[in-house]
Structure 1
Amino acid sequence: MIYLDNAATTSLSTKALETLVSVSQEVYGNPSSIHTFGRKANQILRQARQDIAHSLRVKSEQIIFTSGGSEADNLAIKGYALAHQNKGKHLITTAIEHHAVLHTMEYLEERFGFEVTYLQPVNQQITAQQVKEALRPDTILVSIMYANNETGQLLPIQEIGELLQSHQAAFHVDAVQAVGKVPLFPEELGIDFLAASAHKFHGPKGVGFLYSKHAKLDSLINGGKQENQHRAGTENLPAIAAMARALTDQIKQYQRNLDYIRQLREQFLTEIAKIDHYINQSEHTLPHILNIGFPGYLNEQLLMRLDLAGIAVSSGSACTAGVIQNSHVLEALYGTDSQRLKESIRISFSEENTAEEIHTLSQTIKEIIGGAPTWHSNHK
């Protein structure tokens, strides 16, 4: 099997797995207990927090461990909005965010009367100028993703961060697709909240973290004083330790990984150059994600045939009961009637992929595309 759906999840690295197993077996005490077993567990927890904070160049007490990126997004958005609604009830985000952000915004609108401005792409771009024009005196939070999970598009985070320095609004960034792949330093970018998920950078599933510059947040989970009283419940110590190990390893070799993944991407595009195709991306993208369409070929048919050939890619959009739903991201970029919605697939690379695998992918697509088109396309 050839796995090229790394934007959905990555494989667990060998060192992260070793850490996960050893901590599970050897350090089983509760980090909140005061006996020897608890103190040992607490030491592992503190070290993991320090390692992650060091990778981001922030203070260790600003790292809150969560069950993943979705919880981190929810804690930042709900926690901050509800705790600061006395300052205003206007929020800003984009139409291309992950559903962990969009659904959270909708929840605040429907249940608590917040008003949300959803920025729409202009010429397939989200700009800092759009944020500036949307800001109001009662805006208390701006939530913009670092890199889009379907197209890899990089958003102007530094420009927005600089813009918000002169405004009361806090800045939340869903960086799930970027952490561990590129250097990310929240303080330098003017970010107040940054969400990450371990399984996107070869850590285990079910664990993530939130960088939080602000101490005042309403908690989503109550019942204990863990995580500086931001998240009750005994910490998932083995997964947290494995996450810290995975992130540390990725940061050490990020440039080598980045260069290698660019090579794989260029190899694939070179090998399919003679096949009619289009790319659903702007110039500024994360090289790990390639959203591509082949005019006349339904993505669900292409995905199925690739899967039968032992190659895993995705549509990048939601799949329910085996039926691919249209991508809300591509709808925002190209319109609801664009045939790109039915033709596009997402190929997402990892440093664990090989040139041989990419060659097999390109050759297989050539063989599939060599047949009759699955539908008529006027591609727009």
Structure 2
Amino acid sequence: MGPIYLDHNASAPLAPEVLEAMRPHWLASGNPESRHSFGRQPRRAYEQARETIAGILNADPSEVIFTSGGTESNNLALFGLADRAQHGEARHLVTSPIEHPAVSEPIQQLEARGIAVDRVEVGADGRVEVGAMADRLRPTTTLATLILAQNETGVIQDVARLADRAAASGVPVHTDAVQAVGRIPVDFRGLGVATLAASAHKFHGPVGVGVLLVRSGVSLLPRVFGGGQQAGRRAGTPAVALAVGMAEALRLWQGDAERRLARWIVLRDRLESLLVAGLGRDQVVRTGPEGARDRLPQTLHVGFPGLDGDALLMQLDLAGVAASLGSACASGSSQASPALQAMRVPDDRLRSSVRFSLGATTTDDEIDEAARRVIDAIRRIRPPTPSE
């Protein structure tokens, strides 16, 4: 067996059906903003993609803003919501310490501008106490933000409860749902949030396109200027092929969601069981809560106490297993994961935790072979015990 790709949380390979859906739009002429026949056809495809995405995520098509991906969607939401306050007015923001860099770094920028930021504590199981977040809301709070499914650990957060509590104070809630959409059912209306970010390449769609859902009636200042596209909320010529690809990838997910969910849980738990059987429970420590459905169904985050994570990742790469130490967006950093630090993960696991993430094409045989290769790699690099 060749290389085994278990890093779908970083990026999932493009589905062949998505490529075929996009192909005619790469080759077509016409700007969808043009008012002639060459523009009307791509415009219809673009709006159909918007309707498809809105229908699956339980939003209105008018609430869908196409962006270049999850990073832009998160930035548009955070700056667009925070900057609504009048210049000079005291402003405040509530967030968690387990956000993706696409959220935490914009928040640092807002903090540098003088916005007060409260970061609540997170439990050792990776779950944020949303009651504590709600208790931090003030009359000057302009927004609260909480990731829907944590990108490293896969732990699912109770965003709907936070949104419900925040609504009583009139505070909009943003959620980064980049790792959740296309992995678990996501109901924009049901969550009650003001804004929600998603990105196509996480669920076998194309790189370079995402959406920000903005609830009707929510005021959002634009970040990109130079045209009146998308009701003036995000200027730029529509990328029709990318929008079509995202809609097709999400449609494929919806049509196969029940089977994928069940299968992913089986494969994820099988990988953990095989690692434990080969190495021992004390040498394989899963991160996150006990409940199988409290984590993303296709994400397994485990620590191997006492190992050097970089050395392990190198050995896995040589063995043909693609995995990750955490967020791909922070992979160049030598710093320990802020999310794991916030969870107070012990030092012997802090730098030896690995994320394995599955996709729609992951097979039983790949899981079995990956487990064998991981076990062999760990046995090669694990320091000998004093009794050996």
TM-score normalised over the length of structure 2: 0.92
Task: Describe the shift of the 1:210–1:348 C-alpha distance in structure 2 as closer, same or farther (beyond 3 A).
Answer: same
Structure 1 residue runs without a partner (length 5+): none
Paired with 1:348 and 1:321, the residues of 2 have a C-alpha distance of 16
The alpha carbon displacement at 1:123 in A equals 3.4
1:231 to 2:234 alignment? yes
Paired with 1:352 and 1:96, the residues of 2 have a C-alpha distance of 29
Q: Determine helix, strand or coil for the equivalent of 1:57.
A: coil
Paired with 1:372 and 1:306, the residues of 2 have a C-alpha distance of 11
The alpha carbon displacement at 1:84 in A equals 3.2
Q: Identity rate of aligned residues, in percent?
A: 36
Tell me what 1:252 maps to: 255
Task: Describe the shift of the 1:148–1:23 C-alpha distance in structure 2 as closer, same or farther (beyond 3 A).
Answer: same
RMSD of Structure 2 on Structure 1 (CA):
1.9
- Which residue of 131, 152, 157 corresponds with 1:155? 157
Q: Which whole-Å deviations, capped at 9, do the CAs of 1:109-150 have from their partners, x for residues lacking one?
A: 112x21111112133431121112211121120110000000
Tell me what 1:299 maps to: 309
- Which residue of 331, 335, 338 corresponds with 1:325? 335
TM-score normalised over the length of structure 1: 0.94
Task: Describe the shift of the 1:323–1:139 C-alpha distance in structure 2 as closer, same or farther (beyond 3 A).
Answer: closer
Tell me what 2:208 maps to: 206
Task: Describe the shift of the 1:365–1:127 C-alpha distance in structure 2 as closer, same or farther (beyond 3 A).
Answer: same
Tell me what 1:10 maps to: 12
Q: Determine helix, strand or coil for the equivalent of 1:371.
A: helix
Q: Is the CA contact 1:55–1:251 (under 8 Å) kept in the aligned structure 2?
A: yes
| 1:46 counterpart letter in structure 2 | E
Paired with 2:55 and 2:352, the residues of 1 have a C-alpha distance of 42
Paired with 1:376 and 1:224, the residues of 2 have a C-alpha distance of 65
Structure 2 residue runs without a partner (length 5+): none
Paired with 1:268 and 1:119, the residues of 2 have a C-alpha distance of 33
1:341 to 2:342 alignment? no
Q: Determine helix, strand or coil for the equivalent of 1:231.
A: coil
Query: Counterparts of 1:1-380 in structure 2 under 5 Å?
Result: 1-26=3-28, 28-85=29-86, 89-111=91-113, 113-124=114-125, 125-213=127-215, 214-274=217-277, 275=279, 276-283=283-290, 284-317=294-327, 324-334=334-344, 338-371=347-380, 373-374=382-383
Paired with 2:267 and 2:185, the residues of 1 have a C-alpha distance of 20
Paired with 1:222 and 1:216, the residues of 2 have a C-alpha distance of 16
Tell me how many residue pairs correspond in the alignment: 374
| 2:223 counterpart letter in structure 1 | L
Paired with 1:369 and 1:29, the residues of 2 have a C-alpha distance of 55
Task: Describe the shift of the 1:298–1:359 C-alpha distance in structure 2 as closer, same or farther (beyond 3 A).
Answer: same
Q: Is the CA contact 1:139–1:168 (under 8 Å) kept in the aligned structure 2?
A: no
Task: Describe the shift of the 1:29–1:322 C-alpha distance in structure 2 as closer, same or farther (beyond 3 A).
Answer: same
Paired with 1:251 and 1:142, the residues of 2 have a C-alpha distance of 29
Q: Is the CA contact 2:209–2:242 (under 8 Å) kept in the aligned structure 1?
A: yes
Compare 276-285 and 305-314 and name the one that shifted more. Answer: 276-285
Paired with 1:85 and 1:168, the residues of 2 have a C-alpha distance of 17
The alpha carbon displacement at 1:52 in A equals 0.6
Q: Is the CA contact 2:69–2:200 (under 8 Å) kept in the aligned structure 1?
A: yes
The alpha carbon displacement at 1:318 in A equals 5.7
Task: Describe the shift of the 1:89–1:49 C-alpha distance in structure 2 as closer, same or farther (beyond 3 A).
Answer: same
Paired with 1:45 and 1:299, the residues of 2 have a C-alpha distance of 44
Paired with 2:67 and 2:204, the residues of 1 have a C-alpha distance of 17
The alpha carbon displacement at 1:85 in A equals 4.6
Task: Describe the shift of the 1:85–1:95 C-alpha distance in structure 2 as closer, same or farther (beyond 3 A).
Answer: farther
Q: Is the CA contact 2:306–2:349 (under 8 Å) kept in the aligned structure 1?
A: no
The alpha carbon displacement at 1:255 in A equals 1.2
Q: Determine helix, strand or coil for the equivalent of 2:289.
A: coil
| 1:171 counterpart letter in structure 2 | V
Q: Is the CA contact 1:143–1:172 (under 8 Å) kept in the aligned structure 2?
A: yes
Task: Describe the shift of the 1:324–1:310 C-alpha distance in structure 2 as closer, same or farther (beyond 3 A).
Answer: farther
Task: Describe the shift of the 1:13–1:317 C-alpha distance in structure 2 as closer, same or farther (beyond 3 A).
Answer: closer
| 1:8 counterpart letter in structure 2 | A
Q: Which whole-Å deviations, capped at 9, do the CAs of 1:209-244 have from their partners, x for residues lacking one?
A: 000014522111101000110011101111111111
Q: Determine helix, strand or coil for the equivalent of 2:9.
A: coil
Task: Describe the shift of the 1:139–1:375 C-alpha distance in structure 2 as closer, same or farther (beyond 3 A).
Answer: farther
Q: Is the CA contact 1:330–1:340 (under 8 Å) kept in the aligned structure 2?
A: no
